[in-house]
């Protein structure tokens, strides 16, 4: 009986090790995050949006034309 339990444990350990080694090692970042555009923060309201959708003026980013015209918001945020 002890011999049977030993072989079952040995086979289970071998299967676990084989699955662990077979799994790909590149699991640090999903591919969708690698292709994500850089984000910027609106100088007026603080909303984050993709840089390609933002408007810039004097090295500051804005989320809309209205916020661009109003300028930077309060600094207590």
Residue 47 has pLDDT above 60, yes or no: yes
Q: How many domains does the chain have?
A: 1
> Considering the chain, what is the average pLDDT of its residues?
86
Spatial distance between the Cα atoms of 62 and 42, rounded to a whole number of angstroms: 4
Domain annotation covers residue 29: no
Residue 19 is assigned to a structural domain of this protein = no
Read off the pLDDT of each residue in 21-40 and give the average, rounded to a whole number.
74
Q: Which domain holds residue 57?
A: 39-77
What is residue 28's predicted lDDT score, i.e. its pLDDT? Answer: 62
What confidence category does residue 35 fall into, taking pLDDT thresholds of 50, 70 and 90? confident
pLDDT at position 43 is 93
Q: What is the residue whose two structure tokens read 């299967």?
A: 15
- Give domain status of residue 34, yes or no: no
CB-based burial of residue 55 (10 Å sphere; 0-12 exposed, 13-18 middle, 19+ buried)? middle
């Amino acid at each position: 009986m002890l011999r049977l339990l030993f072989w079952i444990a040995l086979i289970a350990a071998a299967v676990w090790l084989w699955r662990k080694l077979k799994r790909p090692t590149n699991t640090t970042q999903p591919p969708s995050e690698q292709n994500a555009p850089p984000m910027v923060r609106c100088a007026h309201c603080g909303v984050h949006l993709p840089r390609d959708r933002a408007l810039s003026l004097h090295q500051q980013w804005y989320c809309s034309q209205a916020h661009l015209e109003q300028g930077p918001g309060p600094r207590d945020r």
